[in-house]
Structure 1
Amino acid sequence: MMIGGAGMLLAASPAQAADISYKTECIPPAISGLPPVQGTTEVRLTAPAQAKVGDTVEVVWKTVRAASSNPDVLDLDKDTVKPTGTIKLAGAATGDLKMEGPRQNPAIPKNSPMLLPDMKGSLKLEKAGELTLTPDGYNINVSKPLSTDTKCSPKETVQPGATIKVTDGGGGTSGGTTAGGTTSGGTTAGGTTSGGTTAGGTTSGGTTTTGGGTTSGGTTGGSGGATDFPGREVVVNFACKAPGPQEGIASKVTINAEKKGGSYALTVKTAKGVMDSPAPLPAGALKPSMNIVIGGADKGSVTVRGPGNPEPLETGKPVSLPDMTGTYKPGASGKSSLTPGALTIDVMLGGSKINIPCTVKGAPEASLVLDTAAQEGGASGGGSTASGGAAAGGTASGGGLAATGAEDNGALRALGLVAGTAILLGGAVFTFTPWRRLRSGR
């Protein structure tokens, strides 16, 4: 039971403090792709040794040691970490005492101990007897670049950290209720910190895909005066690395081309509502890109890119990827196929970038086949060319995709983005709820 109390805070009789250690499991944000962290939490509770019924006393929770250190993902800025926690009450009162600390910490480098500010809570004493206080679970919120939460809970029986002897001082005795401190810090999706650790390392960047452009597509020749060449809709299955969804993804993809001189302006469309937003994101924070595999007479790849989301995204709401565009300059003459390849979703927030790379599973069909004529410097749209029709991370416009570390065996979960996003990660922290999945769309 959590009941708010009132009254003047007292420190009647000398305060007592004791260090309590207990095994702890901390759950990193889903976007991080990291497994639960197993560690030991060491807590020192400070409370009056004795007080009277009717007194309101202050309890202080000092985290001597968090369950794990800040991992090798990113440095945490000064005053970005805020802890909240719960103390279990027993004896003269029962229920939960809510604890809260300020957003106040020194800068915390990667691979260093997680330093949490002290938490405090106030408790009104309403019944005589011995009151025991036992530390329980706690939450770590990191505010930048997105608000992210890591929840830590005991994995063994925890011993009391303090005991208050409550005497009958004539104040009312209405049976054992307590006053909680303020409630826990908000949980939002996005970023990181795991058990006192930042969660998150983003995954390896632009992945390559197989998928040679074979099979039929909207086959139209580049000759005969036609300039518009619509592709056909094909289903592509993706496997994504953390911090993407853990499930397989199926999305319909269409590659359309418009001939401009000896080159083709490509427009790639995906199904509407292909994913659920893992966290609230501002307009322009989420951008897709895709490698288009060139096969048949020509070889190589070209990267198409989409603009940022035009409107802010709400957690759990369907998200449609904007159309992606790029330029294909043929490097060979003959029938050349264009097949969807690796998909990458970039999330940018507060100057930090996270990449969610997704490779193609199996061998998808080509969406479009063109009758091409070789152009000087052609293939891959000015980017790199690969032999054998494999996707080479060629770029059609702009720079290449950033590569970050840490693999995961999952597939694109629901950007639960880089809360915020990984978490969001590429040097950012954010907690997202798991992407539900990319849908096949209509």
Structure 2
Amino acid sequence: MLGGAGILLAASPAQAAEVSYATECVPPPISGLPPVQGTTTVDITAPAEAKVGDEVEVVWKTVKAASSNPDVLDLDADTVKPTGVLKLAGAQTEDLAMEGERANPPIPKNSPMVLSDMKATLTLTAAGEVTLTPDTYEINVSKPISTDTKCAPTEEVDVAATINVTEDGGSSGGGASGGDTGGDTGGTGGDTGGTGGDTGGSTGGDSGGDTGGTGGTGGDDTGGTTGGGDGGDETDFPGKEVTVAFACESPGPDSIESAVTINAKKKDGSYDLTVATADGVMDSPAPLPANALTPSMDVTIGGADKGTVKVTGPPNKEPLEQGKPVNLPDMTGTYTPGAAGKATLAPGTLTIKVSLGGQDITIPCTVKGEAPVSLELDVEDEGGVTGGTSNGGTTSGGSDGGSTGSTGSTGSSGGTAGGPGSTGGSSGTGGGLAETGASDNGALRALALVAGTVILLGGAVFTFMPRRRLR
């Protein structure tokens, strides 16, 4: 408590500085609009003075964005989210990622963009002057589809704020101060004691004197991060929102773009995953009955573990009206780790299945390039995913004995063995259109099914179709 209070009291009153710089903003490709040249005005707020080890808040206020809302459509309230990069130089050199909330008033066509303040916490690591200079920023609009406008300086930008960082004089103190520090931050176990907090206090205080607070290095924060102490009981792991571009196969559109967030909840060594996409991914140009559209995604596992986890959402509960926005429901599944270490979770192939008249039309949308990581987990080997595919704990058609799921063109995909919820599989024809061959009257039945499929494709082409009237 005393250490935290010292950090707060050490920072001097914040300073604010405003800079303007020439900027080029590139609208999303779907808009068909050319790059925009304009001027960005930014107000950066940061403390004038602080100490090494302090965590200070930095605020980026966009006084004026380089581009306005073009003459395309009115933007609804709370649909615009800014992110940016602040350049650090001097005693500390790095890029500081800034992020604002999705909070804005309605923005009419041909009017200035109104962006929320972007904030970040900066940990000061070296003594001297640290300068802060605004750099690139992006404007994400979530409706009617998720799009990004990217803005970058076209000239050298002036420094917007400077922090004078001094050495922390209390870091090597002894005696009673050492005892308190050792007790609060000691050991690697945090509050759970044992070799943790109590041992740190004993070494720092009783053995005391000149050794001061060197008894502990872990403290409460280390216990939480490494899964030890009280922090080991953490079960909810929220992911960050990332924007992903997908390339879709016919009858879908050429490409779509959407914000995706992957969240996890730990349960008995496995993780229940929930994948959410942005609202209003597209408008429906055709009516569709209830229970006709079902989304799914293959979450890509990387880092220490390898493989994919299939998550699936429920079909649409209500009929979809022509011209109305379509929101995908949250998709869920179960991830059972197959290796120990830091595992990364990123969006993978998004699949839309449309069921009409007894036929299933499957539209796969693969990620363009490399998808950004939404979530990172410290995992233990539970005999699960590594190298294979987990189908979210379902049990349709899986093989209990298989070590890794494999999918045939017309067979079943077996789940991985050894982990809870990992024996799932899915059977069928690989998600494509129904077979048109038959043992009796094969040619005639095939021709009839092809004709029916053409009609159905016309009704299903709405899936993820961007609004072509954007320009």
* TM-score normalised by the chain length of structure 2: 0.41
Between structures 1 and 2, the one with greater strand share: 1
- Higher RCO (C-alpha under 8 Å, 6+ residues apart): 1
Larger helix share, 1 or 2: 2
- TM normalised by structure 1 equals 0.43
